[in-house]
Amino acid sequence: MFIFMNGLAIALLMLLSLASSISSVNAEGMKIASVDVRKVFSGWEYAAEVEAKLEKKRQALEEDNKDRLAVIEQYELERNEVYQAFQAKRDSVSVEEKAKFHSELMELRRNAFALEENRRNFYVKAKQNLDREGAIQSRLMLDQITEVIQAYAQAESYDMVIEMGGHTTQHLPFFLHLDHAEDITQVIIKRLNGTE
């Protein structure tokens, strides 16, 4: 509780400090804009396409994983059937047949274990690759958004552009309201989508 209160106090102090610096900026007649990058991401058609492709890859990975699990489960069922057959006539089989049953059980167990190991390794590696691809794509898109914002800010002579979507550690927005700040979020989305 103490840590939470300290964190909240620090966040509020930062907000007050920033608010006072912004009001002094406004007093000096600076031109300020605000943008919500999360809204830009959600409104940008290219970002939606990238996310859809990544989601399709995630779903394909999950389907592949289910298929692999089904094969492993089949091995387990087969091993169980062999074991049940052995148990049903255990007292009446020869030593050679017992050895054959035992060998078959061990082979099925090894195969199931190898398949499970392969499935797990493949799944973990593929998931890491997808996460890495998602992070790279996000970084590239954020760079492109930043470039468009900077170009627009320079063209419109803004002295400052503030990102409104950021949150504190307590998940409160940094800025609830900025006096005299023009929200350029929709303009940036239109520029990225090529509709302006």
Token couple for 186: 């929709």
Q: Is the pLDDT of residue 190 over 60?
A: yes
Does residue 112 lie within any of the structural domains?
yes
The whole-angstrom separation of Cα 13 and Cα 66 is: 51
What's the whole-number average pLDDT of the chain? Answer: 81
User: How many folded domains does the chain comprise?
Assistant: 1
* Residue 3 domain flag: no
Q: Is residue 126 part of a domain?
A: yes
Q: Is the entire prediction scored with pTM above 0.75?
A: no
Query: What is the pLDDT, as a whole number, of residue 30?
Result: 82
Annotate 105-146 with DSSP letters as a single string: HHHHHHHHHHHHHHHHHHHHHHHHHHHHHHHHHHHHHHHHHH
Question: Residue 136 sits in which domain range?
Answer: 17-193
pLDDT band for position 175 (50/70/90)? low
Q: Tell me the pLDDT band of 54, cut-offs 50, 70 and 90.
A: very high
Domain assignment present for residue 8? The answer is: no
Each residue of 72-109: pLDDT tens digit? 999 888 888 888 888 888 778 788 888 888 888 888 88
| Average pLDDT of the residues in 36-63 | 95
Residue 10 placed within a domain: no
CATH number at residue 111: 3.30.910.20
| Structural domain includes residue 7 | no
**How many Å apart are CA 175 and CA 167, to the nearest integer?**
9
Q: Is residue 104 part of a domain?
A: yes
Helix 185-193 and helix 95-155, axial crossing angle in degrees, nearest 10: 110
Asked if residue 179 is part of any domain, the answer here is yes
Instruction: Say if residue 6's pLDDT is above 60.
Output: no
Grade residue 23 by pLDDT with cuts at 50, 70 and 90: very low
Residue 196, Cβ density class (10 Å: 0-12 exposed, 13-18 middle, ≥19 buried): exposed
Rounded CA gap, 163 and 153, in Å? 13
